[in-house]
Chains A and B, each alone.
Chain A
Amino acid sequence: MTAGGWVMLIIIWGFIISLTVFCMRTVLRLRDVEMDHIKPMLEIDTGDLDEQDKEKEE
C-alpha cells in the first residue's frame, strides 16, 4: 500500500471510529443520567414540616 493509501485509510477510519465512539459513549452516558433522573427522590417523613405547617396556620 502506498503512503497515499495509508493516509486515506487513517483519515477515513479515524473519522468513522471517532463518530461511532462519540455516539456510543454519549448514548451510554445519557442512559446513566436518565436512570438517575427517573429514580424516585429519597423521602423520609420526619414530621417536622407538618409541625411547621401547623404553626403557620395558627
Chain B
Amino acid sequence: MDGAIAWNHTTGVDIDVPRENWASRMGIILAVAGSAVGLGNFLRFPVQAAQNGGGAFMIPYIIALLLLGIPLCWVEWTMGRAAGSRNHGSGPGILNVFWNHRLSRYFGALGIFIPLMIYFYYVYIESWCLAYSWFAISGSLGSAAGSNNAGDFLSAYQGLKENQWFSGISEAYIFFIITFFVNFFFIYLGVAKGIETISKIAMPILVILGIVIMVRVLTLGAPDIAKPDWSVNGGLGFMWNPDFSALADAKVWLAAAGQIFFTTSVGLGLIITYASYLKRDDDVALSGLTSISINEFMEVVIGASIAIPAAFVFFGPVGIRDIAAGGAFNLGFVTMPMVFSQMPMTAALGFMWFFLLFLAGVTSSISMLQPGIAFLEDEFSLSRKQSVGLLSAVSFFAAQPAIFLLDKGVLDLMDFWAGTFAIVLFATGEVIIFGWIYGIDRGFDQLHHGADIRVPKFFKVVIKYVTPAYLLIILGYWSYQSGLDQLLLRKVSAENFPYALGTMLGMALFLAAIIAAVEMAWRRKETS
C-alpha cells in the first residue's frame, strides 16, 4: 500500500495514512466493469433497442459510446487517480482537486448522493434476483410460470397481493436482509480483499453463465412446428433488423445516449472513486477502455442475444411487441420465467438467469457504497469499521420506503431524480471542470501520464466541446420533457401525493445533509 499525507484532526499534525490500492490491474478493470455490468445490460438494453429502430438504434448508440461513454470514462479515471494520490476518494474532494473552489465541493456532493440514493432501491431489486434464483431451484417459480401466473407470483412476492405462493412480504424481506448483508460484508473487507476479490470471482462466472444461456437460446431454432416464424432467427430480426426511419426521431438519439449513461456507470461517482485507489503512475487510458469494452461485450453481444430472442420464440411477433412495451422489469421477472418454463431444464436455466442477474447486481451495488465509505474515511478520518457501521445504518433505514411503499410511486421518483437527472447533471459538471476549468491540455497530459495507449487527439476536441454540448442537450431535453412534471408531481395520483412529496423532501434533505457534511469536513481541515 502507498502512503499518503493526511491531516490528523485530533493531534493537528500531518500523518502518513496508508491508503488502500488495488492489488492488481485486472482487479480494478473487472471491478469497474462489474460496476457497469448490471441488470440494464440484460434487460434494459434489449428493450431499448427493440423499441427504437432495432439495428438502426445501434448507430446512435455507438456514436454516443464514442462521444459520451468513452470520453467520460477517461475523464473519470483520470480525475479519480489524480485526486486519490492527494487522499481524496469521493466527489467533493476529487472535483476540488481539479477546481479549487467551494462550489466544486458542494457540486461534488452529488458523487455521494447519487450512488447512495440508487443503492437504497437497487439493493431491494437485486434481492429479487437472489430470491428468484432460489425459487427457480425450489420449483415454485417454474410451477407459477408454467401456469401463466408469473405476474401474480411477482406481485405477491412484493407484498402487493396475497395468493397461494405468498401471504406477505416476509420472504422478500429476508432476501433483502441477506443481500444487504452480502453487500456490506464485501465493503467491510475493503477495496483489495473485498471489492476486488468478489469482482474477480463474479465477473468470470457472469460471463460463463451469460454465454451458456446465450448458446441455449440461440440453438432453440423454432420449437413449435406449427409456427415456423416463431424462431430465434425471427427474434434476432426483431432486435437487429434496421428501421432507418427511426433515426429521424430525436427521441431515438436521446434514448441511445441515455442507455450509454445507464450502462457505462459514468456520472454516478463510482468510477472516480474506484480510480482513486490506483497508484499515481498506473495507466488509466487502456484500463478505462478495457473496462468499458467488457461492459459493451456483455450488453451488445450477450445481453442482446438472450431475453428478446427467447421471448420471441415463445410469444411470437405480436406478443413480443407487448412484452417490449411492458418494460425491462416485466421482461426479466415475468416473461423470462414463462420462457424458461417452456424449455427443458426449467429449474437450471431459471437459476442461471437469476443468479447471473444477482451477480451483475452485487458487483454494481457494492460500487455504489464505496463513494460514501471513501468520503467518511478520507474526509473525516473514520476507520473502515466506523464508516461501514454508519453507512449501513443510514442505508438500512433509507431502503425501507422502496420496500414498503413500492406501489406508491416512491421508487419511480428516486429513479428519475437520482438515477436519471442527477447523473447527467453530475457528468456535465465533471466534463466542464476537466475540459474548461482545469484545462483540456493539462487534462490530456494527466490522462497520458503512465498511459499504455495513446488517446487520439481527436478526443481533446470531443471532451472539450462535443461531450459537454451533447450532455447539455440531453439535460435540456429531459428537463423540458419531464423535469417540470416530476418537480411539481403533476403525474402523481392524489392518493400517492403525500408519499411522493415525502420522497422529494427526503431526497432534498439527504442531499442537504451531505453538503453540510462536506462543509463540516473542510472547516475541520481549515481550523485544525
> Residues of A at under 8 Å CB distance from B?
1-2, 4-6, 8-9, 12-13, 15-17, 19-20, 22-24, 26-27, 30-31
> Is B342 interfacial (CB 8 A cutoff)?
no
Report B-chain residues with C-beta under 8 Å of the C-beta of A20: 290, 293-294, 296-297
Contact check, A23 vs B286: say whether CB atoms are below 8 A apart: yes
Within 8 Å by CB of B240, from A9, A23, A26, lies A9
> Is B336 interfacial (CB 8 A cutoff)?
no
CB closest residue in chain A, given B452 = A30
Report A-chain residues with C-beta under 8 Å of the C-beta of B25: 27, 31
Report A-chain residues with C-beta under 8 Å of the C-beta of B240: 1, 5-6, 8-9
Within 8 Å by CB of A12, from B29, B234, B286, B300, lies B300
**Cβ distance B229 to chain A, nearest Cβ, rounded Å:** 12
Among B54-62, B188-196, B246-254, B405-413, the one that faces the other chain is B54-62
Contact check, B289 vs A12: say whether CB atoms are below 8 A apart: no
> Residues of B at under 8 Å CB distance from A?
25-26, 29, 54-56, 58, 62, 233-234, 236-237, 240-242, 286-287, 289-290, 293-294, 296-297, 300-301, 452-453
**Cβ distance A10 to chain B, nearest Cβ, rounded Å:** 10
CB closest residue in chain B, given A29 = B452
Report A-chain residues with C-beta under 8 Å of the C-beta of B241: 1-2, 4-5, 8
- Cross-chain pair count, CB within 8 angstroms: 75
* Of listed A9, A17, A26, residue having the most chain B CB within 10 A: A9
In the complex, what distance in Å separates the CA atom of A1 from the CA atom of B305? 13
Contact check, B237 vs A2: say whether CB atoms are below 8 A apart: yes
**Cβ distance B242 to chain A, nearest Cβ, rounded Å:** 5
Q: A5-B242, A8-B240, A31-B26 are in contact. List 19 more A-B contacts (CB 8 A).
A: A1-B236, A1-B241, A4-B241, A4-B242, A6-B240, A8-B55, A8-B58, A8-B241, A12-B300, A13-B301, A16-B296, A19-B293, A19-B296, A20-B297, A22-B293, A23-B286, A24-B293, A26-B286, A26-B453
Contact check, A5 vs B301: say whether CB atoms are below 8 A apart: no
Report B-chain residues with C-beta under 8 Å of the C-beta of A15: 62
In the complex, what distance in Å separates the CA atom of A6 from the CA atom of B236? 9
In the complex, what distance in Å separates the CA atom of A8 from the CA atom of B58? 8
Contact check, A5 vs B54: say whether CB atoms are below 8 A apart: yes
5 tightest Cβ-Cβ pairs between the two chains A and B: A8-B55, A1-B237, A23-B290, A5-B241, A5-B240
Contact check, B55 vs A4: say whether CB atoms are below 8 A apart: yes
Report A-chain residues with C-beta under 8 Å of the C-beta of B236: 1, 5, 9
A to B CB contacts below 8 Å, 10 in the list: A1-B240, A5-B54, A8-B55, A8-B242, A9-B55, A12-B62, A13-B300, A16-B293, A17-B297, A23-B289
In the complex, what distance in Å separates the CA atom of A4 from the CA atom of B290? 29
CB closest residue in chain B, given A33 = B452
Q: Chain A's interface: helix, strand, loop or mixed, by majority?
A: helix
CB closest residue in chain B, given A15 = B62
**Cβ distance B177 to chain A, nearest Cβ, rounded Å:** 37
Report A-chain residues with C-beta under 8 Å of the C-beta of B56: 8
Report A-chain residues with C-beta under 8 Å of the C-beta of B233: 1
In the complex, what distance in Å separates the CA atom of A16 from the CA atom of B293? 7
In the complex, what distance in Å separates the CA atom of A20 from the CA atom of B452? 16
CB closest residue in chain B, given A31 = B25
Report B-chain residues with C-beta under 8 Å of the C-beta of A5: 54-55, 236-237, 240-242
**Cβ distance B250 to chain A, nearest Cβ, rounded Å:** 21
Contact check, A27 vs B55: say whether CB atoms are below 8 A apart: no
**Cβ distance A8 to chain B, nearest Cβ, rounded Å:** 3
In the complex, what distance in Å separates the CA atom of A26 from the CA atom of B453? 9
Report B-chain residues with C-beta under 8 Å of the C-beta of A9: 55, 236, 240
Contact check, A16 vs B286: say whether CB atoms are below 8 A apart: no
* Of listed A2, A13, A16, A24, residue having the most chain B CB within 10 A: A16
- Assuming A5-B237, A5-B240, is B297 touching A27 (CB within 8 A)? no
**Cβ distance B274 to chain A, nearest Cβ, rounded Å:** 16
CB closest residue in chain B, given A19 = B293
CB closest residue in chain A, given B299 = A16
CB closest residue in chain B, given A34 = B25
In the complex, what distance in Å separates the CA atom of A16 from the CA atom of B452? 20
Report B-chain residues with C-beta under 8 Å of the C-beta of A24: 290, 293-294
In the complex, what distance in Å separates the CA atom of A17 from the CA atom of B302? 11
CB closest residue in chain B, given A8 = B55
Within 8 Å by CB of A27, from B234, B237, B287, B300, lies B287
Within 8 Å by CB of A16, from B54, B234, B301, lies B301
